[in-house]
A and B are shown apart, each in its own frame.
Chain A
Amino acid sequence: DIQMTQSPSSLSASIGDRITITCRASQSINIYLNWYQQKPGKAPNLLIYASSTLHTGVPSRFNGSGSGTDFTLTISSLQPEDFATYYCQQSYSTPPLSFGPGTKVYVK
């Protein structure tokens, strides 16, 4: 099975900051990498699929990149509604649907 890791596990940031979250797969997954945002008590929401394609309605300040084993999610200018936990998930070899452990973004 493909294992996913994320770094950092948490980060503190301020409104307007540019932040980057990294996701790494245990083997090459081409561009089959998705990103989700989850707020407390809510279901996850799809942000980006296929490494860099924004899901419908997702603001353009979110950007995804990468291929092979290394991927990044960047938020260009952090907004109040972006404080949440972010998960990556590989869809190259499923099942299983492997998720990363998550990165919590909180207020500095």
Chain B
Amino acid sequence: ELQLVESGGGLMQPGGSLRLSCAASGFSVSNNYMAWVRQAPGKGLQWVSVIFAGGETHYADSVKGRFTISRDNSNNTLYLQMNSLRAEDTGVYFCARSFRAALDIWGQGTTVTVSS
């Protein structure tokens, strides 16, 4: 079964750091275009970051310089290192696989709350 399972969310103070993990099964993260998408409470979907199969990375302007996407091929896991967290980073973070230019497999989401 093709599956993504996120972990690592939690409650952090502004300025803090978190690392989200997204463990894949049934396919290889290294061979796929992988994305992080977030959803603030009661809001719509917002793209955060992507990593191409070749390793090229891109970020939304709102997280550029603070977040880093990476992957561990041996563990078949995608990561999102989140530094200098802000209140507006609060939300549910989903990882997803892109296939045929669409996000066809999504994780269940992990909740990040940034509050003092």
A residues sitting closer than 8 Å to B (CB atoms) are 32, 34, 36, 38, 42-46, 49-50, 55, 87, 89, 91, 94-102
What are 20 A-to-B residue pairs whose CB atoms are below 8 Å? Answer: A32-B101, A34-B101, A36-B103, A43-B109, A46-B104, A50-B102, A55-B104, A89-B103, A91-B101, A94-B50, A94-B101, A96-B58, A97-B35, A97-B47, A97-B50, A97-B103, A99-B44, A99-B47, A101-B44, A102-B45
Inter-chain contacts of B58 with A (CB < 8 A) = 95-96
What is the CA–CA distance of A98 and B46 in the complex, to the nearest angstrom?
8
What is the CA–CA distance of A34 and B106 in the complex, to the nearest angstrom?
14
Inter-chain contacts of A49 with B (CB < 8 A) = 100-102, 104
Extra A-B contacts (15), CB below 8 Å, given A91-B98, A96-B47: A36-B45, A43-B109, A49-B101, A50-B101, A87-B44, A89-B102, A94-B50, A94-B101, A95-B47, A95-B58, A95-B60, A97-B50, A99-B37, A99-B44, A100-B44
Query: A96 touches which one: B60, B102, B107, B108 (CB < 8 A)?
Result: B60
